[in-house]
């Protein structure tokens, strides 16, 4: 045997050994993966089946009702995708055919494998005679065959699922830092002149009196007072994050090193973990310990600590309870009397590029300049508005009486710069009163809020429309945040001849009420109520009273679902008011409104983009007019009157 033949024989021996080793590795890997898959799959089916079905069902429920399920899913559900799946569709993997494939590949008699790659089979002798060196095409081909065989084995080893049935889609938006809301609140509070001014006017004794007063009110009047342990922990959390806030440090004149701040935070965290407060006395003890830590590590006055504990008690409540301090200095908005504000007379909705105009107010400079619904304000005084909040934009528009503001306005594809004079615009509860369909005499009243005097304004608007020949009415409550409960009841009385309007239930007997229709005469005319996701509180009371008494139809989108009553208590220790949730309200049928709201009889479905891109055509109003023209509201009011055996009087009244 010459040297060349010996070298070829040696290469063949090495390649054959290499293929044999690869084959053994593949078989051992396949067996190992099969065992792991069997064990893990059995555990998955038995241990997690109930939890997964519960998670999937909860998520489906949340989707149906438009609420986020964030915070309700177990950690395993969000961390491991396999818990989203159930039983595999196929049976366990079988390896007989892969053993045959591997043996054919190792022996060179891989006819079936070659056919799958569109190559003709070759005999073993031919394969040996054409054996190429290590780096040749044939050697690469065998390596490719092995890789494909391994991939196919792995795919068969892993359980197969009916993805269309069991796969759960993850949300695109990941949850933000759970403490981010608290950080935002701290920044907003210490940017408020009234909050900072109140703190700076306090000494430790008055701050302590403020803290005690707040907690006594919570104990006596809040509809569901939290425990003192929850309140003190909220106060300590406030401090832990407050000492990382520059505005807080500046207001409280704290100049501490990062190490001193970390030490104070660790001590406060220990109080959270080790000292539960089971009574008001325990809470005071924790408060004093927290103040001692602030004094020793940060040289911080006790006033700031007590102030944060008072806010901690507030944050332990519902999101509608709040403090309202008397401002110590005037803000950017200039009030002119109690019924006017200085501005250009526009109502805005936030937009990703600025603010979109919902409507212009009568007498405002924006209306005289020709601005209209759907116009997009993208700049003010040569500053772009993208990313700003609605309050920030409104503060830029308002200013001193007689001054000028420059608006960059976009209408469709056209842009314009408009200079408007800031004028005194009268603030009323009603922003629009008009006939929207002259042929059918459909009237419109847009109520912005149920403020003081709203019922008198409603009476004037109704008579004004009556003199214009109104035959039916659209009552627009979109964006109405609510107001006074007494005004909502009085306005409901103008339309509902009899039946319950609303009931409230709280902890005290004085908070438990039942309000029924008592007005001697009501307006008898077909009625439609427009609502949306920003219609809240008193708006929901009125809409539910009309809907559940079958007096009219509700059109639009589900309301906010506030469903609670806030009572304002003047504070004695500081200059301000404590708005405290004292009761929940219930619809005429006894349905709790909190978190549920009012679902429209005639839904107007709009995408998020359509809701943001407010166009010149008001789809809700069109739907309201079409509902009036369908005669269904007329049937309701006629049936209601006959059931109540009420004889219609002149001028569209029934008594």
- For 308-427, strand residue ranges (E) read 322-325, 335-336, 340-343, 346-351, 354-360, 376-380, 383-384, 404-411, 414-421, 423-426
What is the structure's pLDDT at 334?
31
Note the pLDDT of residue 460: 95
Q: Determine how β-strand 354-360 pairs with β-strand 346-351.
A: antiparallel
pLDDT in tens, 47-76: 434 443 333 333 333 333 333 333 333 333
489-531-494 Cα angle (round to 5): 30
585: alpha, beta or left? (left if phi > 0; alpha if psi -120 to 50):
beta
DSSP of 621-637: HHHHHHHHHTTHHHHHH
Residue 279 has a pLDDT of: 93
* DSSP result, 216-274: HHHHHH-SSPPPHHHHHHHHHHHHHHHTT-HHHHHHTT----HHHHHHHHHHHHHHHHH
Taking the whole predicted model, whether its pTM rises above 0.85 is answered as no
- How many angstroms separate the CA atoms of 590 and 584, rounded? 11
Measure the CA angle with vertex 74, ends 73 and 79; round to 5°. Answer: 100
CA distance 433 to 443: 8
Q: How far apart are CA 640 and CA 288, in angstroms?
A: 63
- Residue 76's pLDDT is what? 32
Q: What are the chain's domains? A: 178-325 (no CATH), 340-426 (2.30.42.10), 430-607+618-643 (3.90.226.10)
SS3 of residue 346 by DSSP: strand
Q: Is 605 helix (H, G, I), strand (E, B) or coil?
A: coil
User: What per-residue confidence (pLDDT) applies to 32?
Assistant: 60
pLDDT of residue 335: 30
Helix and strand tally (H, E) in the chain?
24, 22
| Averaged pLDDT score across all residues of the chain | 75
In this prediction, residue 281 carries a pLDDT of 93
Q: Report the C-alpha dihedral over residues 155, 158, 163, 166, rounded to 10 degrees.
A: 180
**C-alpha triplet 520, 521, 523: angle, nearest 5°:** 150
Give the per-residue pLDDT at 5. 52
User: Tell me: the pLDDT tens digits for 3-27?
Assistant: 555 555 555 665 666 666 676 766 6
Residues 6+ positions from 46 with CB-CB distance below 8 Å: none
CB 194, CB 477: distance < 8 Å:
no
Burial class (CB in 10 A: 0-12, 13-18, 19+), 17: exposed
Cα 207 from Cα 243, distance rounded (Å): 19
Q: CB of 250 within 8 A of CB of 196?
A: no
* pLDDT score of 130: 42
pLDDT per residue as tens digits for the range 454-478: 999 999 999 999 999 999 999 999 9
Beta-carbon-side half-sphere exposure of residue 262 (alpha carbons within 13 Å): 3
E-strand spans in 453-543?
A: 472-476, 500-506, 513-516, 522-523, 527-531
**Distance, first Cα to last Cα, the chain:** 123
527-531 and 472-476 strand pairing? parallel
Averages of pLDDT over runs of 10 residues in the chain (655 residues) are 53 63 68 52 41 37 34 33 33 49 55 42 40 44 60 47 29 51 85 89 93 95 93 94 92 91 93 89 94 93 94 92 68 37 79 84 82 87 84 83 88 88 82 92 94 93 95 94 90 92 88 86 92 91 95 94 88 92 91 90 84 74 93 84 40 32
- CA–CA distance, 180 with 310 (Å, rounded to integer): 20
User: For position 459, what pLDDT does the model report?
Assistant: 95
Q: What is the pLDDT of residue 17?
A: 65
């Amino acid at each position: 045997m010459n040297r060349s033949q010996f070298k070829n024989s040696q290469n063949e021996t090495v390649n054959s050994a290499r293929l044999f080793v690869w084959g053994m590795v593949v078989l051992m890997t396949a067996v190992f993966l099969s065992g792991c898959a069997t064990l893990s799959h059995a555990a998955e089916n038995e241990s997690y089946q109930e939890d997964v079905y519960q998670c999937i069902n909860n998520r489906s429920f949340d989707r149906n009702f438009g609420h986020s399920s964030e915070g309700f899913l177990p950690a395993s559900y969000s961390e491991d995708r396999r818990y989203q799946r159930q039983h595999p569709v196929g049976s366990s993997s079988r390896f007989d055919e892969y053993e045959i494939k591997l043996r054919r590949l190792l022996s060179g008699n891989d006819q079936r494998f070659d056919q799958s790659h569109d190559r003709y089979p070759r005999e073993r002798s031919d394969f040996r005679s054409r054996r190429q060196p290590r780096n040749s095409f044939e050697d690469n081909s065998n390596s490719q065959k092995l890789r494909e065989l391994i991939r196919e084995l792995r795919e068969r080893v892993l359980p197969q699922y009916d993805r269309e049935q069991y796969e759960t889609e993850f949300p695109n938006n990941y949850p933000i830092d759970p403490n981010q809301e608290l950080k935002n609140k701290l920044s907003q509070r210490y940017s408020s002149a009234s909050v900072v001014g109140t703190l700076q006017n306090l000494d430790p004794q008055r701050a302590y009196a403020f803290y005690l007063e707040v907690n006594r009110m919570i104990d006596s009047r809040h509809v569901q007072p939290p425990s003192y342990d929850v309140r003190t922990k909220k106060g300590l959390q406030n401090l832990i994050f407050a000492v990382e806030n520059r505005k807080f440090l500046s207001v409280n004149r704290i100049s501490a090193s990062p190490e001193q701040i970390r030490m104070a935070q660790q001590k406060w965290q220990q109080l959270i973990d080790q000292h539960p407060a089971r009574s008001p006395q325990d809470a005071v003890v924790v408060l004093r310990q927290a103040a001692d830590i602030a004094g020793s590590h940060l040289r911080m006055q006790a006033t700031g600590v007590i102030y944060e504990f008072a806010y901690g008690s507030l944050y332990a409540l519902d999101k509608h309870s709040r403090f309202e301090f008397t401002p110590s200095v005037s803000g950017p908005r200039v009030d002119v009397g109690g019924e006017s504000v200085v501005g250009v007379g526009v109502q805005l909705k936030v937009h990703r590029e600025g603010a979109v105009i919902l409507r212009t107010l009568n007498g405002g400079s924006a209306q005289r300049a020709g601005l209209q619904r759907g116009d997009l304000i993208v700049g003010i005084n040569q500053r772009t508005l993208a990313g700003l909040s609605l309050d920030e934009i409104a503060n830029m528009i308002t200013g001193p009486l007689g001054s000028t503001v420059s608006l960059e306005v976009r209408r469709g594809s056209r842009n314009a710069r408009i200079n408007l004079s800031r004028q005194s615009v009268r603030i009323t509860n009603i922003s629009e009163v008009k006939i929207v369909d002259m042929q059918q005499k459909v009237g419109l009243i847009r109520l912005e809020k149920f403020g003081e005097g709203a019922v008198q304004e409603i009476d004037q608007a109704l008579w004004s429309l009556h003199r214009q020949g109104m035959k039916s009415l659209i009552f627009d409550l979109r964006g109405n945040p609510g107001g006074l409960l007494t005004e909502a009841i009085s306005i409901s009385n103008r339309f509902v001849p009899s039946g319950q309007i609303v009931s409230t239930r709280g902890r005290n007997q004085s908070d438990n009420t039942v309000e029924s229709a008592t007005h001697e005469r009501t307006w008898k005319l077909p009625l439609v109520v427009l609502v949306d996701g920003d219609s809240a509180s008193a708006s929901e009371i009125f809409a539910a009273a009309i809907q559940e008494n079958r007096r009219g139809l509700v059109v639009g989108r589900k309301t906010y679902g506030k469903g609670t009553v806030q009572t304002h208590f003047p504070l004695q220790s500081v200059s301000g008011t404590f708005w405290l949730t004292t009761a929940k309200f219930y619809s005429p049928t006894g349905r709790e409104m909190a978190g549920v709201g009012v679902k429209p009889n005639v839904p107007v479905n709009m995408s998020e983009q359509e809701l943001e891109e407010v166009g010149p055509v008001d789809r809700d109003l069109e739907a309201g007019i079409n509902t009036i023209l369908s005669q269904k509201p007329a049937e309701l009011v006629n049936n209601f009157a006959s059931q109540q055996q009420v004889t219609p009087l002149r001028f569209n009244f029934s008594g």
